[in-house]
């Protein structure tokens, strides 16, 4: 297990009265399942007496800088698609997602049926036990520690009799390793970057509405820029990804390029819910 020596105080008696236990995971994921390259993210799992929250550590860093300097200048958009919160000991998750300029939340019930094996392995002073499951159209293997009395883990993976230390799908598209833990004296507030995204409060929607919004973005990812072209009576110049766009034809070329990128990096963890984008 990578960097297991960075874990600290996990085997000290964990007081349930402590406000927040934070477990930091390294997530390696393939944005494109056909490539061998991984993107790496550090993710926070915050467990307090009422809720478990899982989110990118970069969101936390941006929020910390804002609090330190008393502004909202630092912003971050999640790229993992893995920002969730749930009440302790439930499988009802509230999911958070950025779509174009909007920030949205939708609820899902994600029951996970684990098969716990007798197989164990020793990592430093920790005895880990193996468990397997099928979730999101993928097969998963988890290694959890009974000595850490939280039935939680990365993203939506919960329900085992101990904290998940390692987790991966069989095709190795998603790999999690626990690398560090912290105990915070208070419930850490996430209102500014999880329940809202640096000033944009999450708008509640359902999964059908989410699908509609994602498809609207795919069909015309530069709708705002297109609208500016249609309103302008003068020579308008729009910069997209460092390229100056002069007319609608050039904008259409950029639209097709963006659609190719969206199709290429369409590898969500819950692949059974993946959107099948058309080619126009």
Tell me if residue 203 falls in helix, strand or coil. Answer: strand
Range 46-62 average pLDDT = 97
Q: Is residue 204 part of a domain?
A: no
Question: Please, which pLDDT band fits residue 280 given cuts at 50, 70 and 90?
Answer: confident
Q: Among the three residues 197, 212, 240, which one is the final residue of a domain in this structure?
A: 197
Domain span at residue 240 reads 220-273
Q: Is residue 158 part of a domain?
A: yes
pLDDT, mean over the chain: 91
In the 8-state DSSP scheme, what is residue 149? -
Q: Is residue 132 part of a domain?
A: yes
Q: Flag whether pLDDT at 2 surpasses 80.
A: no
Q: Is residue 279 part of a domain?
A: no
Range 208-213 average pLDDT = 97
**DSSP code per residue over 22-39:** EEEEEEEE-SSTTS---E
Question: Please, which pLDDT band fits residue 160 given cuts at 50, 70 and 90?
Answer: very high
Q: Considering its fold, how many domains does the chain have in total? A: 2
Question: Please, which pLDDT band fits residue 235 given cuts at 50, 70 and 90?
Answer: low
The pLDDT value recorded for residue 70 is: 87
The pLDDT value recorded for residue 254 is: 93
Task: Note whether 67 and 184 are same-domain residues.
Answer: yes
Q: Flag whether pLDDT at 49 surpasses 70.
A: yes
Task: Note whether 131 and 263 are same-domain residues.
Answer: no
Task: Note whether 28 and 141 are same-domain residues.
Answer: yes
Q: Is residue 203 part of a domain?
A: no
pTM given for the model = 0.92
Task: Note whether 229 and 266 are same-domain residues.
Answer: yes
Q: Cα–Cα distance between 194 and 88 in angstroms, integer?
A: 17
Task: Note whether 172 and 266 are same-domain residues.
Answer: no
Q: Is residue 215 part of a domain?
A: no
The pLDDT value recorded for residue 246 is: 82
Q: Flag whether pLDDT at 247 surpasses 90.
A: no
The pLDDT value recorded for residue 189 is: 95
Q: Is residue 233 part of a domain?
A: yes
Q: Among the three residues 149, 182, 197, which one is the final residue of a domain in this structure?
A: 197
Task: Note whether 179 and 101 are same-domain residues.
Answer: yes
Task: Note whether 122 and 259 are same-domain residues.
Answer: no
Report how far apart, in Å, the C-alpha atoms of 115 and of each of 131, 132, 136, 161, 251 are.
5, 5, 16, 12, 51
Q: Is residue 172 part of a domain?
A: yes
Q: Flag whether pLDDT at 9 surpasses 70.
A: no
The pLDDT value recorded for residue 238 is: 80
Task: Note whether 11 and 124 are same-domain residues.
Answer: yes
The pLDDT value recorded for residue 7 is: 54
Task: Note whether 167 and 238 are same-domain residues.
Answer: no
Task: Note whether 11 and 129 are same-domain residues.
Answer: yes
Contact call for residues 185 and 195 (beta carbons, < 8 A): no
Q: Where are the beta strands (DSSP E) in the chain?
A: 20-29, 39-47, 51-56, 83-87, 92-99, 102-109, 115-123, 126-135, 138-145, 163-169, 174-184, 196-197, 200-201, 203-204, 238-240, 243-245
The pLDDT value recorded for residue 230 is: 65
Question: Please, which pLDDT band fits residue 241 given cuts at 50, 70 and 90?
Answer: confident
Task: Note whether 71 and 170 are same-domain residues.
Answer: yes
CATH number at 159 reads 2.50.20
Task: Note whether 250 and 142 are same-domain residues.
Answer: no
């Amino acid at each position: 297990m990578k960097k297991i020596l960075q874990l600290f105080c996990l085997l000290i008696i964990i007081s349930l009265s402590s406000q927040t236990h934070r477990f930091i995971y390294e997530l390696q994921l393939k944005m494109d399942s056909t490539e061998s390259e991984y993107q790496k993210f550090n993710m926070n799992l915050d467990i307090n007496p009422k809720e478990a929250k899982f989110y990118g550590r970069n969101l936390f860093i941006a929020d910390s800088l804002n609090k330190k300097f008393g502004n909202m200048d630092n912003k971050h958009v999640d790229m993992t698609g893995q920002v969730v919160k749930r009440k302790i000991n439930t499988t009802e998750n509230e999911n958070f997602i950025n779509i174009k300029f909007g920030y949205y939340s939708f609820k899902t019930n994600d029951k996970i049926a684990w098969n716990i094996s007798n197989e164990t392995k020793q990592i430093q002073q920790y005895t880990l036990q193996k468990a397997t499951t099928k979730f999101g159209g993928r097969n998963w293997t988890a290694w959890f520690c009974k000595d850490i009395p939280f039935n939680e883990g990365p993203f939506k993976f919960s329900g085992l009799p101990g904290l998940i230390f390692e987790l991966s799908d069989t095709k190795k598209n998603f790999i999690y390793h626990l690398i560090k833990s912290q105990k915070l004296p208070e419930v850490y507030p996430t209102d500014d970057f999880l329940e809202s995204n640096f000033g944009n409060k999450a708008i509640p929607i359902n999964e059908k509405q989410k699908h509609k919004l994602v498809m609207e973005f795919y069909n015309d990812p530069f709708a705002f820029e297109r609208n500016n072209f249609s309103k302008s009576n003068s020579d308008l110049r729009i910069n997209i990804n460092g390229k100056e766009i002069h007319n609608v034809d050039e904008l259409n070329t950029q639209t097709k390029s963006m659609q190719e990128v969206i199709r290429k990096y369409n590898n969500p963890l819950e692949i059974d819910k993946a959107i099948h984008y058309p080619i126009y």
